């Protein structure tokens, strides 16, 4: 049986970003939701900071500091629920965090202090192509993260139905990593005729989209924004 949570995105979304907004009122449930989202969306923040700092170790250290501060309750109180998107909030929060650290580093430099991290503007990611800006990297990794979450949800569903092996077999088709001509060999390996195989893959693609949509809905305060956010996700993946 399919998961009720994934079948009803509206129910899912009340357990994620809405709960995070509740953390502003010192809610334990909200703090747990925030911790879950921070854990799930660590990679987009790391991608942004890696592009800004041009140093993976520094980016990881900064990411850990950023999430530690957020989980301690500092940054979440600046969340504007009216903006509706956890993605927008997270990107704005990490930009503000980095800006504060850069300003602190400048003050230390002017005062003769020693900088713990090299955070001068000269080290920012300077890429002519707008598609490779730190913000674009954040969005791309966000899209990859959401897609991975959708794939994992779908894998769990098929695992519960005893079809995990079939999922692993067709996963390259779901993610676009396999060529159209590969379907004949995959169908034969699964003991299916080609038409039945194609129909099964088509249904899984539809189910994957629903799973991804549920994940997206979980990071929005307004369900009406889901389609717009889905378009942003596909645009980020296509870029």
**pLDDT single digits (tens) 80-122:** 554 578 888 889 889 989 998 888 878 777 655 444 444 444 4
Q: Which of these, 22, 219, 49, 185, lies nearest to 123 by C-alpha position?
A: 49
Query: Under a CB-based contact definition with an 8 Å cutoff, are residues 62 and 53 in contact?
Result: yes
Q: What CA–CA distance (Å, rounded) separates 139 from 44?
A: 7
pLDDT at position 228 over 80: yes
pLDDT at position 12 over 50: no
| pLDDT score recorded for residue 176 | 81
pLDDT at position 29 over 70: yes
Residue with tokens 């519960």: 160
What residue segments make up the domains of the chain, in order of their start? 4-238
The mean pLDDT of 59-71, rounded to a whole number, is: 91
Query: Under a CB-based contact definition with an 8 Å cutoff, are residues 6 and 218 in contact?
Result: no
Q: What CA–CA distance (Å, rounded) separates 222 from 158?
A: 30
Q: Which residues contact 26 (CB under 8 A, 6 or more apart)?
A: 73
| pLDDT score recorded for residue 81 | 52
Q: What CA–CA distance (Å, rounded) separates 40 from 201?
A: 27
Q: Which residues contact 193 (CB under 8 A, 6 or more apart)?
A: 187
The mean pLDDT of 149-170, rounded to a whole number, is: 94
pLDDT at position 168 over 50: yes
Query: Under a CB-based contact definition with an 8 Å cutoff, are residues 90 and 141 in contact?
Result: no
Summary mean pLDDT of the chain = 79
Q: What CA–CA distance (Å, rounded) separates 100 from 104?
A: 6
Half-sphere exposure of 42 (CA within 13 A, CB side): 14
């Amino acid at each position: 049986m399919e998961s009720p949570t994934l079948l009803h995105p509206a129910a899912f979304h009340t357990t994620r970003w809405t709960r995070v907004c509740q953390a502003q009122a010192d809610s334990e449930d909200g703090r747990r939701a925030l911790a879950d989202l921070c854990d799930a969306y660590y990679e987009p923040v790391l991608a942004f900071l890696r592009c800004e700092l041009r140093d993976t170790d520094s980016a990881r250290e900064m990411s850990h500091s950023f999430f530690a501060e957020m989980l301690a309750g500092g940054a979440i109180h600046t969340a504007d629920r009216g903006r509706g998107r956890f993605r927008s909030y997270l990107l704005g929060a990490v930009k503000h965090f980095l800006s504060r650290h850069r300003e602190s580093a400048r003050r230390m430099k002017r005062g003769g202090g020693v900088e713990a991290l090299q955070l001068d503007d000269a080290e920012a990611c300077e890429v002519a192509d707008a598609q490779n800006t730190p913000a674009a990297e954040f969005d791309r990794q966000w899209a990859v993260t959401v897609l991975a979450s959708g794939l994992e949800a779908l894998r769990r569903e098929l695992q519960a139905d005893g079809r995990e092996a079939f999922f692993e077999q067709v996963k390259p088709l779901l993610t676009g990593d396999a060529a159209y001509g590969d379907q004949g060999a995959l169908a034969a390996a699964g003991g299916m005729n080609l038409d039945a195989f194609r129909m099964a893959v088509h249904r899984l693609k539809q189910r994957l989209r629903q799973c991804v949509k549920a994940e997206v809905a979980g990071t929005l305060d307004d369900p009406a924004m889901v389609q717009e956010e889905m378009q942003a996700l596909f645009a980020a993946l296509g870029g």
